[in-house]
Homo-oligomer: A and B are copies of this chain.
Amino acid sequence: MKTTVEQLSRRFRGVVLAIHGGAGVITRDDMSPAQEKKHLAGLHAALNAGYAKLKKGGTSLDAVEAAVRSLEDCPLFNAAHGAVLNHDGRIDLDAAIMDGATLNAGAVAAVRTIRNPVSAARAVMERSDHVMLVGQGAQDFAGAVGLKIVDPEYFVTEAQRRKYVEALEQERKSKRRPKGKMGTVGAVAVDAEGNVAAATSTGGMFNKRWGRVGDSPVIGAGTYASNETCAVSCTGHGEYFIRLVVAHNVSSRIKYAGETLLQASRAVVHDELLPMGGEGGLIAIDAKGNCSMPFNSEGMYRGCITESGESYVAIFK
């Protein structure tokens, strides 16, 4: 794993945008070559969507929002369309965005009708006095500012519906609830002005109950950005990411301990999360275009694109 991350960082100095599509329980055995191809195409599409913004002079905020919207719209990843179903057979979505130049941030949690939660998070940041809105109130706000509201059925794919039905069946037989699979999408970027930004969006944990919210919409945990240090978007077992305040932890190691982006991000993923049992990973970028994508799970959907347009996508180590 060490080699991969370091090689990546060496090969891609000058990364302008990095994305992830989750670091849940992905194994080679679960994935056919055809599926792998589709996922890689989904990652390429998201990279291109974000890169197009940057090429037209857009900000890093524009780029991360566009990349995450692309992943939200793609049925293969656990965010918006294609999100996992909760215990009640419904979909609860969370998202956050943060601007490294101003430390402005926005987040929504437990929303069910906003087509692109990441855009709602951006609207909270730019068009409200608040940082975090939840539930019906967040949906009312999104509608009031003109965001696209959809029927909750829009988010449900046939594949996720099938998984849910199978889980119900399994639960009836074994009296045990199938373990929640995780998944999240996210992006970090740096623009021509040297401003960094981060965004994350998720359907949360499969079969979750009780209005559970993970790390994605929690500023400092799943999402954080500061020009002074870095922009971070996380994916994995959210409870551990909240308890270790992962994204801000990476930033703090750079700011206060003088670690490099690579040192800080790897220390949190391998030396802090892993010993606690916190499976997952993160993507991080700094104002100079240094990039790191450490993960302690078997795989993490990920990719990055450099200023010249050269891109890289991968799933496994």
By beta carbon, the residue of chain B nearest A88 is: B137
| A208 neighbours in B (Cβ, 8 Å) | 130
Interchain CB contact under 8 A, B211 and A135: yes
Q: How far is the CB of A303 from chain B (nearest CB, A)?
A: 27
Q: Does B133 contact A213, Cβ atoms closer than 8 Å?
A: yes
- Chain B residues with Cβ below 8 Å from A276 are 103
Interface core residue of A140, A255, A256 (most chain B CB under 10 Å): A256
* Contact digits for A228-251, partner B, Cβ 8 Å, 1 yes 0 no: 000000000011001111001100
Residue of B nearest to A111 (CB): B211
Verify B239–A131 contact, CB threshold 8 A.
Answer: yes
A212 to B104, CA, bound (A): 16
Q: How many copies does the complex hold?
A: 2
CA distance A104 to B248 in the complex (A): 18
One of A187-195, A217-225, A293-301 contacting the partner: A217-225
A257, CB-defined interface residue at 8 Å: yes
Q: How far is the CA of A255 from the CA of B264 in the complex (A)?
A: 14
Selected A-B contacts with CB under 8 Å, 13 pairs: A109-B213, A132-B212, A134-B135, A135-B135, A140-B211, A141-B209, A219-B245, A220-B245, A220-B248, A224-B245, A252-B255, A252-B256, A255-B256
